[in-house]
């Protein structure tokens, strides 16, 4: 998990967070002081908080659509309609 090697880069995406967590564990006598770094490392690995938040946003959007309330358009729809232009991409 924390080998330090990434798929496309020499360093894995969570390796710097792991190193901070490891440093905290090696210097602190009370490991409860490292819980924030542990949570950050686990979130970097698994994205559970991010997925939970995204699921809540999708559920809220679906609830508004079912109640016939106005919802903002999705970014992909805005790109397709030409409202948003993305620089340096081929998206149109």
Give me the pLDDT at residue 23, please: 96
CB-CB contact of 24 with 35 (8 Å): no
- The predicted-structure confidence for 46-69, as pLDDT tens digits, reads as follows 999 999 999 999 999 999 999 999
The Cα 78–Cα 60 span in angstroms is 20
Element (H, E) at 40: helix 35-46
Give me the pLDDT at residue 68, please: 96
pLDDT tier for residue 3 given thresholds of 50, 70 and 90: low
- The predicted-structure confidence for 18-45, as pLDDT tens digits, reads as follows 999 999 999 999 999 999 999 999 999 9
């Amino acid at each position: 998990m924390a080998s330090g090697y990434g798929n496309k880069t020499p360093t894995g995406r969570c390796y710097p967070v792991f190193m901070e967590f490891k440093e905290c564990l090696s210097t602190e006598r009370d490991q409860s002081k490292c819980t924030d770094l542990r949570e950050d490392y686990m979130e970097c690995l698994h994205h559970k908080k991010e997925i939970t938040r995204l699921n809540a946003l999708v559920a809220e959007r679906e609830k508004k659509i079912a109640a016939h309330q106005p919802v903002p358009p999705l970014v992909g729809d805005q790109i397709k309609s030409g409202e948003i232009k993305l620089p340096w991409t081929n998206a149109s």
